[in-house]
Amino acid sequence: MPIEPLPLTARFMNTTTSAASLPPGTLGLPFIGETLAFLRDRNFARDRAARYGPIFKTHLLGRPTVFVCSEEGCRFVLANESKYFVVSWPPSTRKLLGSLSLALQTGGVHYQRRRILAQAFQPRALAGYIETMDAICCSFIERWLQVRSLAWYPELRQLTFDIACKLFVGMDSGSHNELGEQFELWCQGLFTLPLNFPWTRFGRARRNRDWLLQQLEEIIRKRQESDDPGDDALGLLVRSRDEDGSQLGLDELKDQVLLLLFAGHETLTSSLVSFCLLVGQHPDVRDRLLAELDRLPDDAPLTLESLQQLTYLEQVLQEVMRCIPPVGGGFRTVIQECELDGYRLPEGWGVIYQIAQLHMNPDRYPDPDRFDPDRFAPGSDNPSQTYSYAPFGGGLRECLGKEFARLEMKIVAVRVLQACDWTITPDQDLSLVVIPSPRPRDGLRVVMRDRRSAG
């Protein structure tokens, strides 16, 4: 969707002046700054924005960092990629993703690799994924209905990982073998202090990464030696050539595939569990969704066209990602000192544009804590057309797999709604753990009933 441009005003200067001061805030303790509070407190940004305003400084993961929580400020950061800002990640994330990962590449290399990977997310490719997504989803649902009582979050993690493994590297049931176990342990170290000791999460994740790369190397070498490397994401990468016409190296292929598995799994699981939580808490929304699904042809296979007709489901998913965005913000580094809203952003400092705070702006979203899918109704002043809505980031580095994620969310939502009634069990902690992506602390325990057999 196009995002309306916001003019750069005098408040957003491209160069600093001698009068510009640093943003308000505190740098916290020596070395660790406010890192522990950031990792543990879901309201870290909200509380400090209320105290200091929409732009404030802190110290995270080893360096001073500025939080940007306003719509105009986020637009400034995203519109000036490679001019004043460059993508950045915490040290633990950089080391675990790998230096050749698309997430860390910049400039022309990033652009060229992004064009290659984008082929795996074009409409024709997406249409070819539907049958696989649907089949894996339905197999999980049948098992859930047999079990009846379960913690849904870990189940959804297995579902999304199985889909990612099948569609990206051609592997069946990835979550049910050692690859899935090692991958989960690797994920746990992505946003931690980079203390490389055997007993730390980061230290364990470094070892898990080494094991994962060995397994991926075996898969990649088999594809490279095959006359037909396949049409999935790995096949595209194996056949691709860089700017001088040579094939991508083995080390880069491993880093890119590892990133694809992470991107097609972690944040997508978060959005799905948020959908199940919020719809389960709002039976009126569920009733409207079911009424819309009743208009789908009986037993007809899902298609891109039929899914596009589900306009209320689209509204619900947009509101889910507004209330609980799967990514809390984006990391950048200042590469040229500049001025934002009268504050100086020094070269070398970190910047985080804060998606969760954007989505709580009462000027764009009246009563922002209320779950209201009609905010995104057709014909309304749709906030998704502005920089006040950014669940997939924005600018040159907007999430490459956005349409893949939206497609999978719709398929899972449709099949769950058609087959399942679910009740969220009482006496559980539904507060959100937010690192690396939001999910209910107790895993969202539910009791399920097969609505197809209800008399």
- Residue ranges at the known binding site: 399
3-class state of residue 288 by DSSP: helix
> Residues annotated as binding site for heme?
399
Encode 110-133: b = buried (16+ Cβ within 10 Å), e = exposed: beebeebbeebbeeebbeebbeeb
Nearest Cα to Cα of residue 234 among 214, 208, 210, 261:
261
How does DSSP classify residue 383? G
Alpha helix ranges (H) inside 266-401: 266-281, 283-293, 304-308, 311-323, 355-358
* Contacts for 305 with CB less than 8 Å, ≥ 6 apart: none
> Per this entry, what is the length of the chain?
455
**Across the strands, what pairs with 64?**
59
Residue 4 CB burial class (10 angstroms; 0-12, 13-18, ≥19): exposed
Q: Where are the beta strands (DSSP E) in 302-394?
A: 329-334, 338-340, 343-345, 350-354
Q: Is it true that the peptide bond before 436 is cis, omega within 30 degrees of 0?
A: yes
